[in-house]
Structure 1
Amino acid sequence: MHTKFDRSLIHHAERIRQTRRQFFGRSATGVGAAALTSLLGRDAAASGEGLPGFPNHVARAKRVIYLMQTGGPSHLDLFDYKPDLFGRQGQNIPESVRAGVRLSTMTGSYKEYPVLAPLRPFRQNPVSGMWLSDLVSHTRDISDRICLINSMNTEAVNHAPGVTFFLTGHQLPGRPSMGAWMSYGLGSASEDLPAFVVMLSRDRENSCGQLFYDYYWGSGFIPGKYQGVNFRSQGDPVLFLSDPKGLSREMKKGLIDDIAALNREHEETIGDPEIATRIAQYEMAYRMQTSVPELTDLSDEPQHILDLYGPDVQRPGSFARNCLLARRLAERGVQFIQLMHAGWDQHNNIPTQLEVQCRDTDQPSAGLVRDLEQRGLLEDTLVIWGG
């Protein structure tokens, strides 16, 4: 006796079979979206990129430019005016002040903790009333346009955990970064550029060995398509953006379409959300072949705009140039732009290196605010400076 099997049933079983990892990868995003939507309101049922019904209020800001100073800018030397410190120079910090303060291994064995006065004089902006150091004189000039928050706090005493906490809300890697959450919740306002772009720079003397970990702009447990895209300062801004020699743009488009078709068939079979990420990355890379060269060509910027950002603006990879590119990205619909500048790691070299860092960042930061303001973009752009 022979039994006939319906091979289509076997094929169907193969298509729906999932590993434990695939199940959680496929369902996590949907569960998270459903939970967030329920918090935002039951009437949120619109379709499209980004979470339906999010945000649930009229948001003033349309984009964020985050000028992240990795390490630890000395707030007492720059922004936090404590005039009594000048009169207490050299005195030991009382135990009542130090009680319960967590110290790193570098300072935990010290027998004395003398008070140090700020390195440079502080002066008051007559409009805002803020007192800021001469080291950040350009920022002081625009202090009537900023809000200075002195109440920030962290439990981290080392750089990498502190930066990770600042950007992801947790000291340990593995959580989505701030820009990834925004990309996940709001989608993208640009068809030709990513929703979340990252640019990196170091102080001009490369005085610090701090590393830029990709989880600073990673997507954590949400799909990889929401992670930041790192624009490089050398070669192609994005890896493999240029076509190989002999490959026309039409051939490239056909190749991407064929790969996307194979990936979609594979995605239907195993249900891995990272396949959708790869499809989106291929398609975005193709569109960026036109948009990115136009973005990074500064020949259309007049000299008075370049002067706003300072003498380093023409140097690829500088913080000044990245600030100008941030403005150009904002104009083109990128919603989260994260600049990271390394080197704020002064210890016994603070008298010399703090001034170097401020020369790198003060004028470009203020110039960016002025440039956004004169174009009407500052009204709906949240600019954050901190580290």
Structure 2
Amino acid sequence: MFASRRQLLQSTSCGFGYLALQSLQQRSASAATDTADFVPARAKRVIFLCMSGGPAQMDTFDYKPQTTNKKHPGSGFAFQKHGESGIQVSELMPETAKHVDRLCVINGMHADTGNHAQSFLQMHTGEKLRKRPSMGSWITYGLGTENENLPAFISLNAAKPSVYSSEFLPTAFAGTPIGTNGEDMSKAVIQNVKSDHLPLAAKRQQVDFLQSLNRQHLVGRKDDARLEGVIESMELAFRMQASAPELLDLSNESAATLERYRVGKKLSVGTCRPTDFGRQCLLARRFAEAGVRFIELNHGGWDQHTNHRRDLKANCETVDAPIAALLDDLATRGLLDDTLVVWGGEFGRPGLVPEGKDQTGHNYRGFTYWLAGGGVKGGYVHGKTNDTGSQAVEGKVHFRDLHATILHLLGLKHESLDYFHDGRTHRLTGPEGGKVVHDLFA
């Protein structure tokens, strides 16, 4: 299967734009290859809410009662049961808690390392040491785009290129970054798209001339997928000039909508810095409506070693209402059924240190993710950590398993989503593979 897939990629990379415009699924179908590589899709797109730094699971979605044992003080905030499912959610997430019957909470997550850089890389690419294509790139490589006038993969407020890099996959499957970590998202734009120096017809002639030169350049380099991806990105950039700026413009949204998403609001605790996460969530809804396949939102600052209570409260206040507004709008507009929303970070945190100090560390042996929409069970908790919240003990889900499950929900078999590079076959789930967690499916 690997050889035939490699031959398929090589045979289809000859024509200008063909590799970039067609997904692996489309190319496989046109080449009459094994349809067993695919499964019925439950979701069409993904919105990944990336909370970098390590959200404290015991203070958000994994309740641990406080005891007199000072070595393990339990959850540092009050919890309450919500919804018909009765799932316990922290007082820090009151708006998200209203949607708890839509959430599929995974309390048995675990990873390989407690180092931020390595675990963050593994969360995105499946490997913790070497640069590899990101999950968004693998998904767009497998499924292609729903809207040829927009990127299939958009990354908002990303801190590192690893979040949106396609690495050895063709460049056409790389994410389009909008904003950088800490940037005012109201001023963020897609670089090098807007241009008013020529009329549209003249710009079309200009692009056509440049692309004719590019095609001549490609003739002697028929197997250069990276070059072909760059050529296709130029074509996409031209098409984006009409649609992309309009999607970034929130001026046509009502004041009530901006308020629900907390666009432009400041924090009432912590550092009182302006937040841009509400704008990210509102943009994610607009991108999902427009047919963007994979949308990643980034919110940093969850690495609270000191001032844990204050800073965790600030972070939760920043993301809580916007996430609730996003879930509500997706459901109201009929998008949640085929949009998979994923929330989590590179690992979690243990409880507060003994003696009541407001300090925490890293915990990669047991932490929480949640999913919503996209064919997963709502109002469901999968797995559990031990009594101290330090280790996953039931229903354990590794990042490789999460990746395999996300791909399966999108109709892709993780064993078959592969790419031959540098002498061997690569997958998002790596040589170890992952297992699809069918218990999460509705």
Instruction: State the TM-score, normalizing by the size of structure 2.
Output: 0.66
Taking the aligned partners of 2:142 and 2:48, their CA distance within structure 1 comes to 18
Taking the aligned partners of 1:168 and 1:47, their CA distance within structure 2 comes to 28
Is the Cα contact below 8 Å between 2:124 and 2:162 reproduced in 1?
Answer: no
Look up the match of 2:217: 266
Q: Which amino acid aligns with 2:256?
A: H
Taking the aligned partners of 1:309 and 1:283, their CA distance within structure 2 comes to 34
Look up the match of 2:192: 240
Correspondence for 2:154 among 191, 197, 200: 197
Is the Cα contact below 8 Å between 2:111 and 2:119 reproduced in 1?
Answer: yes
Is the Cα contact below 8 Å between 1:189 and 1:335 reproduced in 2?
Answer: yes
Is the Cα contact below 8 Å between 1:174 and 1:221 reproduced in 2?
Answer: no
Look up the match of 2:142: 185
Q: Which amino acid aligns with 2:47?
A: I
Per-residue displacement from partner, 1:63-120 (whole Å, max 9, x unpaired)? 111101111000011111111xx113523xxxxxxxxxxxxxxxxxxxxxxx344232
Instruction: Give unpaired runs (5+ residues) of structure 2.
Output: 1-5, 13-23, 180-184, 267-272, 346-442
Distance 1:29 1:214, change over 3 A: farther
Per-residue displacement from partner, 1:230-289 (whole Å, max 9, x unpaired)? 12336561111222x643333322222122111111111133222211111111111111
Distance 1:297 1:120, change over 3 A: same
Correspondence for 2:30 among 35, 39, 46: 46
Instruction: Quote the RMSD (CA, aligned, Å).
Output: 2.9
Taking the aligned partners of 1:294 and 1:317, their CA distance within structure 2 comes to 22
Distance 1:194 1:308, change over 3 A: same
Question: Is it true that 1:175 corresponds to 2:132 in the alignment?
Answer: yes
Distance 1:117 1:317, change over 3 A: closer
Look up the match of 1:342: 300
Q: Aligned-pair distance for 1:300?
A: 2.3
Q: For 1:342-361, what aligned pairs fall within 5 Å after superposition? A: 342-361=300-319
Is the Cα contact below 8 Å between 1:46 and 1:53 reproduced in 2?
Answer: no
Is the Cα contact below 8 Å between 1:225 and 1:281 reproduced in 2?
Answer: yes
Question: Is it true that 1:223 corresponds to 2:207 in the alignment?
Answer: no
Taking the aligned partners of 1:28 and 1:177, their CA distance within structure 2 comes to 23
Distance 1:32 1:386, change over 3 A: farther
Look up the match of 2:49: 67
Correspondence for 1:132 among 63, 85, 89: 89
Taking the aligned partners of 1:322 and 1:54, their CA distance within structure 2 comes to 37
> Which secondary structure state, in structure 2, belongs to the residue aligned with residue 65 of structure 1?
strand
Q: Percent of counterpart pairs with the same letter?
A: 39
Distance 1:52 1:360, change over 3 A: farther
Is the Cα contact below 8 Å between 1:234 and 1:317 reproduced in 2?
Answer: no
Larger strand percent: 2
Distance 1:355 1:231, change over 3 A: same
Q: Which amino acid aligns with 1:265?
A: Q
Taking the aligned partners of 1:362 and 1:32, their CA distance within structure 2 comes to 48
Q: Aligned-pair distance for 1:348?
A: 1.4
Is the Cα contact below 8 Å between 2:263 and 2:276 reproduced in 1?
Answer: no
Which shifted more, 322-331 or 55-64? 55-64
Is the Cα contact below 8 Å between 1:198 and 1:337 reproduced in 2?
Answer: yes
Taking the aligned partners of 1:264 and 1:276, their CA distance within structure 2 comes to 9
Taking the aligned partners of 1:32 and 1:250, their CA distance within structure 2 comes to 34
Distance 1:175 1:52, change over 3 A: farther
Q: Aligned-pair distance for 1:310?
A: 2.3
Q: Which amino acid aligns with 1:140?
A: A
> Which secondary structure state, in structure 1, belongs to the residue aligned with residue 93 of structure 2?
helix
Q: For 1:1-387, what aligned pairs fall within 5 Å after superposition? A: 30=9, 44-46=28-30, 53=35, 56-83=38-65, 86-88=66-68, 90-91=70-71, 115-200=72-157, 212-232=159-179, 233=185, 235=187, 237-243=189-195, 246-271=197-222, 272-312=224-264, 318-387=276-345
Is the Cα contact below 8 Å between 1:373 and 1:379 reproduced in 2?
Answer: yes
Q: Aligned-pair distance for 1:47?
A: 5.8
Larger helix percent: 1
The 4+ residue runs of structure 1 with deviation greater than 6 A are: 313-317
Is the Cα contact below 8 Å between 1:236 and 1:242 reproduced in 2?
Answer: no
Q: Which amino acid aligns with 1:280?
A: E
Is the Cα contact below 8 Å between 1:234 and 1:316 reproduced in 2?
Answer: no
Which shifted more, 264-273 or 361-370? 264-273
Taking the aligned partners of 2:238 and 2:341, their CA distance within structure 1 comes to 30
Taking the aligned partners of 1:118 and 1:175, their CA distance within structure 2 comes to 36
Distance 1:68 1:267, change over 3 A: same
Taking the aligned partners of 2:8 and 2:114, their CA distance within structure 1 comes to 33
Which shifted more, 284-293 or 231-240? 231-240
Taking the aligned partners of 1:32 and 1:317, their CA distance within structure 2 comes to 48
Q: Aligned-pair distance for 1:53?
A: 4.5
Taking the aligned partners of 2:29 and 2:140, their CA distance within structure 1 comes to 18
Distance 1:316 1:381, change over 3 A: farther
Per-residue displacement from partner, 1:162-196 (whole Å, max 9, x unpaired)? 11101111102421111101110111110210111
Q: Which amino acid aligns with 1:249?
A: L
Taking the aligned partners of 1:379 and 1:251, their CA distance within structure 2 comes to 43
Which shifted more, 262-271 or 229-238? 229-238
Taking the aligned partners of 1:76 and 1:366, their CA distance within structure 2 comes to 20
